[in-house]
Amino acid sequence: MDGSEYEPLAEIEVDQVKPERQGFTLSGQGPDNSEYQLDLRFEMPLDQRTRTVLGELLSHSDLIISRRAPGALVQALRQRRNRAPQR
């Protein structure tokens, strides 16, 4: 599946990275002047050095939130089904 099946919803410049117990909360403003928040959770413990490096990297990032275009999921599943070996 190629990226054309996804449509961008928001592009957010990260303004704040707040460390949390199992990850980070990223906050920022989109071009529509709305405030956005993303909670990023890890299923593994992070040592302090890793947490510091990740926090610094994330604080200099932008987020692009996209979603699958309506109907694209059904079409992708049909294509996959049609490519499956027939019994």
Sign of CA dihedral 69, 23, 54, 39: positive
Residue 64 sits in which domain range? 8-83
Q: Report the number of distinct structural domains present in the chain.
A: 1
Per-residue pLDDT of the chain (87 residues), as tens digits, is: 454 688 888 899 999 999 998 899 999 999 889 999 999 999 999 999 999 999 999 999 999 999 877 776 667 777 777 776 655
In a domain, 2, yes or no: no
> Does the global pTM surpass 0.85?
no
Residue 3 forms part of a structural domain? no
